[in-house]
């Protein structure tokens, strides 16, 4: 019987790993590759802020796991992981139900020889009072689409009133990449909505407030990147509040630790991450305070050599002599997926596994159609700061590289051509 590799989580890293292992080990019959996910389709998570604003139609940019599995010689199993039995080497998948509550796929077990957990992360509200009840998170396509529906509802309601001024107010908690990019994308959406006839609400009448507990926006990136981003946001009319921790969220707005009231009809929480709760104490595997599985440099969990974890759900040592872990970034998950493709082949051959060494290739932040800012890092050129059109082209190329890893060069070219044609025939903003 061939070696059975089960990958849990069809995000960017997990899907790329399943695709590449399917094309190599699966196609040659060297291993059975299985991908399990709770959804039937995949959308690149860095695009969710565009889905929320309506700049991107999620149905046109999603990938179907069943079709991808057929094309790339792996098996797809629908279901959310609910448990693990390390002694028997099986995982449990919970039953899947339809919108009416009827069971679609029963609960079941999947056996594995090598298990790879790539279940990503969710937003961490740090237990803030009212956050879970009154804020929308942007962890999933469904949440992003829910925000978009609410935004359109607020616009249509305000547009129907005689005095439509100052009717739309959005508060975004967290000035990391998601919060910053969402703020700029919403400002772009306000211009588009006015252009499509909802002009009783001018772009300046959408009040966008970005709240950050730290001293500056984009706290994880260099100050030479965050400073021009802060300046551009203010030029767009976004109110940026730094050093303002949110202590409570109400139906009408936010309350900071200093007691300041921030009115908002729409509230988004985009601050902090944590791994899914089911990973904590998962059949004795070691986890940290934000539920990440602790792994060695080989990406094997500390207490089980047959179980790997990578991406946002893994606490992997940075390897620079400090106690810091690899940052939860898309480029890290991509690098780790590439390493695991090699590791699984070596594992089948009984060879030692290589260690993961994080390489920072820089960061790019998109400010919608207005600008982009970032830096690229490499051995030859050091660190190069990019702004404007060139930075935006590099930003767009990140998504194309993700598509190439999944579809190959020719099909990605066809997708680019389709997108170009679609832009001339479709609305520039999703209006439903």
Q: Please name the residues in contact with 195: beta carbons below 8 A apart, sequence gap of 6 or more.
A: none
| Alpha carbons 262 and 143: distance in angstroms, whole number | 23
| Alpha carbons 414 and 409: distance in angstroms, whole number | 9
DSSP letter for each residue of 342-406:
HHHHHHHTTPPPPPP-----EEEEEETTTEEEEEEEETTTEEEEEEHHHHHHHHHHHHHHHHHHH
The whole-model pTM stands at 0.90
Which tokens sit at 154? Answer: 């607020």
For residue range 326-343, list pLDDT tens digits in order. Answer: 999 888 999 999 999 999
CATH number for the domain whose boundaries are 3-121+275-348:
3.50.50.60
**pLDDT recorded at residue 154:** 86
Domain 125-268 sits in CATH 3.50.50.60: yes
For residue range 105-155, list pLDDT tens digits in order. Answer: 999 999 999 999 999 999 999 999 999 999 999 999 999 999 999 999 988
| Alpha carbons 150 and 170: distance in angstroms, whole number | 11
**pLDDT recorded at residue 384:** 57
Which SS3 state, helix, strand or coil, does residue 100 take? coil
For residue range 30-40, list pLDDT tens digits in order. Answer: 999 999 999 99
For residue range 344-399, list pLDDT tens digits in order. Answer: 999 999 999 999 999 887 777 878 766 667 666 554 444 555 555 566 677 677 77
| Alpha carbons 91 and 37: distance in angstroms, whole number | 13
In the chain, residues under CATH classification 3.50.50.60 are: 3-121+275-348, 125-268
């Amino acid at each position: 019987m061939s070696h059975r590799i089960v990958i849990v989580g069809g995000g960017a890293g997990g899907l790329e790993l399943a695709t590449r292992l399917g094309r190599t080990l699966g196609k040659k019959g060297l291993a059975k590759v299985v991908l399990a996910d709770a959804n039937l389709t995949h959308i690149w998570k860095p695009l969710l802020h565009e889905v929320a604003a309506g700049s991107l139609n999620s149905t046109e940019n999603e990938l179907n796991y069943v079709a991808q599995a057929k094309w790339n010689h792996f098996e797809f199993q629908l279901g959310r992981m609910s448990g693990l039995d390390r002694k028997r080497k099986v995982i449990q998948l919970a039953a899947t139900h339809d919108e009416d509550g009827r069971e679609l796929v029963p609960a079941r077990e999947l056996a594995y020889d090598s298990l790879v957990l790539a279940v990503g992360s969710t937003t961490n509200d740090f237990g803030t009072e009212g956050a879970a009840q009154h804020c929308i998170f942007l962890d999933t396509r469904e949440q992003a689409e829910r925000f978009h529906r609410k935004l359109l509802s607020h616009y249509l309601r305000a547009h129907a009133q005689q005095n439509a001024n100052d009717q739309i107010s959005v508060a975004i908690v967290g000035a990391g990449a998601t919060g910053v990019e969402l703020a700029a994308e919403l400002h772009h959406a306000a211009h588009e909505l006015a252009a499509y006839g909802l002009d009783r609400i001018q772009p300046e009448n959408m009040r966008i407030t970005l709240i950050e507990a730290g001293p500056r926006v984009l706290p994880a990136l260099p100050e030479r990147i965050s400073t021009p981003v802060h300046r551009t946001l203010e030029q767009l009319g976004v109110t940026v509040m730094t050093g303002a921790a949110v202590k409570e969220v109400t139906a009408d707005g936010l309350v900071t630790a200093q007691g300041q009231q921030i009115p908002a009809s729409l509230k988004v929480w985009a601050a902090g991450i944590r791994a899914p709760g089911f990973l904590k104490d998962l059949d004795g595997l070691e986890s940290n305070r934000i539920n990440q599985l602790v792994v060695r440099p080989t990406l094997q969990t500390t207490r089980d050599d047959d179980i790997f974890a990578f991406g946002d759900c893994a606490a992997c040592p940075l390897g620079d002599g400090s106690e810091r872990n690899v940052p939860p970034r898309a480029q890290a998950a991509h690098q780790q997926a590439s390493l695991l493709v090699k590791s699984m082949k070596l594992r089948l051959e009984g060879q030692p596994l290589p260690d993961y060494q994080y390489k920072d290739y820089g960061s790019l932040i998109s400010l919608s159609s207005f600008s982009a800012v970032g830096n690229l890092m490499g051995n030859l050129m050091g660190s190069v700061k990019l702004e404007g059109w060139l930075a935006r082209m590099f930003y767009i190329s990140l998504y194309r590289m993700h598509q190439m890893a999944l579809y190959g060069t020719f099909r990605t070219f066809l997708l680019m051509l389709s997108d170009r044609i679609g832009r001339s025939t479709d609305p520039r903003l999703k209006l439903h």
